[in-house]
Amino acid sequence: MPSPPPDLLAVRVQDPYPYFAWLRRHAPAHPDRRTGRPTVWQISRYDDVRALLTDGRLSKDPGRVPGYVAGPAGLNRHLVHADPPDHTRLRTLVNSAFVPRRIAQLEPFITDTAHELLDRVEGHTHADVMGDFAAPLTFRMICAILGVPAELDNAATRDTLMATISPGPGLDPARVEAELHALLDVLIAGKRAGGEQGGTDLLGALVRASDDSGVMSEEELRSTAYLLLLVGHDTTMNLIGNGLHALLRNPDQIARLTAPQAGPGLVATAVEELLRYDSPVRDATFRCAAEPISLHGQLIGAGDIVSLLIGSANRDEGHFADADRLDVGRTPNDHLALGYGPHFCVGAALARLEGTIAIPLLLARLGPLRLAKPSDELPWRPARVMRGLAALPVVRD
């Protein structure tokens, strides 16, 4: 099997799409073998990724890979790392908070919060879309759903959370883990102290499920709180950042989206295209082979990790016409940015609603905008699963 050119490997964080195109063309099931580490198979074509997202031969249990630890120690017992029946049990506990009907009720709160954040930067010529808007907006939303106290809805809490998946230089992983455990313990203790009056929020409901019926263990409770805080914030933050970045590089699509005749239908279609074009989830969450799987003449061994490249599948020219072109009116658009099958993103409705509110408001309140530095100089966070900008500096013209 040919090896990818070194220049493709060197820029995978900043721009993974040429590497993904190489994989789809030359090595659709590509083994990454490194001494002392389990084999990781990179699966890059749309049809394969979609099929394997529902394939019962893949397991979500990291324990099937000896020595593999996914995320901070002690915080892996959540629905993303569970097979049925545990996955079914844990997902049922959180599903009710994210049904579209309940999420739709958040629209006024999301809109008011977005306006409040934009008020702070409207008089400025420069802004950082991530730090000034996308990060605080999305974190406030998931904090509201979970019932996180207002005093913990701040940049320090966000930084601690994000450091678990993309630690910055000089950060001590053990210290980050200890700070995160302390934060989660404070949140859970606060709900317990409130008893039946601990609130109608999701975290309070999970604590009561753990305490009253034992349907969730203490480790699962802490892990689930961590997971919901992280993905409820990170996925939508990346949708807003990646989406605006893509639009600023394609001003003709901004013109379509902001034209007087453009209606809410085009906005919704545009959000789906932004999810596809530069997906906030680059690789699907952890999976490994529970039994041998044959694919494209390769044999994936039991216990091997299988990396389903969502970002590559969403740019597969064999499935999407002009896959590398941003088209805010693209229909149909059966992208995989929010997953597929039993592990489809539980917060999909929230991500879509925030995107349809936040992106048009950004363009209306701050536009016309341009990037404050060349696109290839923007900093991307070095996370394996997620794809998102550390900063998105813009200038108001």
Instruction: Answer whether residue 196 shows pLDDT above 60.
Output: no
Which positions ≥6 away from 192 have C-beta within 8 Å? 198, 207, 211
% of residues, the chain, pLDDT over 70? 94
- Using CA atoms, how far apart are residues 293 and 232, in angstroms rounded to an integer? 33
pLDDT band at 198 (very low <50, low <70, confident <90, very high): low
Higher pLDDT, 264 or 349: 349
Average pLDDT, stretch 98-115?
93
Q: What is the pLDDT of residue 73?
A: 58
Q: What is the pLDDT of residue 213?
A: 80
Instruction: Answer whether residue 122 shows pLDDT above 80.
Output: yes
Q: What is the per-residue pLDDT across 49-83, written as a single tens digit (0 to 9) for each? A: 999 999 999 999 988 887 665 555 578 889 999 99
- Using CA atoms, how far apart are residues 76 and 88, in angstroms rounded to an integer? 16
Residue 127: strand pairing partners = 394
Q: Mean pLDDT in the chain?
A: 90
pLDDT band at 195 (very low <50, low <70, confident <90, very high): low
Instruction: Answer whether residue 22 shows pLDDT above 60.
Output: yes
Instruction: Answer whether residue 9 shows pLDDT above 70.
Output: no
Instruction: Answer whether residue 33 shows pLDDT above 60.
Output: yes
Instruction: Answer whether residue 241 shows pLDDT above 90.
Output: yes
> How far, rounded to the nearest angstrom, does the alpha carbon of residue 358 sit from its chain's CA centroid?
16
Average pLDDT, stretch 351-372?
94
Helix ranges, the chain (H)? 6-10, 17-26, 46-52, 86-95, 100-104, 107-121, 135-146, 155-162, 173-194, 202-208, 218-248, 251-258, 264-277, 310-313, 348-366
Lowest-confidence pick of 145-159, 194-208, 294-308? 194-208
Higher pLDDT, 259 or 3: 259
DSSP, residue by residue, 197-241: GS-SSHHHHHHHIIIII--S-HHHHHHHHHHHHHHHHHHHHHHHH
- Bridging pattern class, strands 393-396 and 126-128: antiparallel
Instruction: Answer whether residue 172 shows pLDDT above 80.
Output: no
Q: What is the per-residue pLDDT across 275-287, written as a single tens digit (0 to 9) for each? A: 999 999 999 999 9
CA angle 352, 357, 358 (to 5 degrees): 100
Instruction: Answer whether residue 197 shows pLDDT above 60.
Output: no
Average pLDDT, stretch 354-358?
96
- Using CA atoms, how far apart are residues 82 and 93, in angstroms rounded to an integer? 14
Q: What is the per-residue pLDDT across 78-93, written as a single tens digit (0 to 9) for each? A: 999 999 999 999 999 9
Average pLDDT, stretch 387-397?
94
C-alpha to C-alpha distances, 54 to 41, 60, 111, 293, nearest whole angstrom: 17, 11, 36, 14
Instruction: Answer whether residue 133 shows pLDDT above 80.
Output: yes
% of residues, the chain, pLDDT over 90? 68
Q: What is the pLDDT of residue 285?
A: 92
Q: What is the pLDDT of residue 388?
A: 95
- Using CA atoms, how far apart are residues 389 and 14, in angstroms rounded to an integer? 9
* Cβ pair 96, 102 in contact under 8 A: yes
Q: Which pair of tokens denotes residue 91?
A: 């997902």
Instruction: Answer whether residue 210 shows pLDDT above 60.
Output: yes
Ordered structural domains, the chain, with CATH? 6-396 (1.10.630.10)
Average pLDDT, stretch 236-258?
96
pLDDT band at 324 (very low <50, low <70, confident <90, very high): very high
The one-letter amino acid at 54: T
Q: What is the pLDDT of residue 261?
A: 82
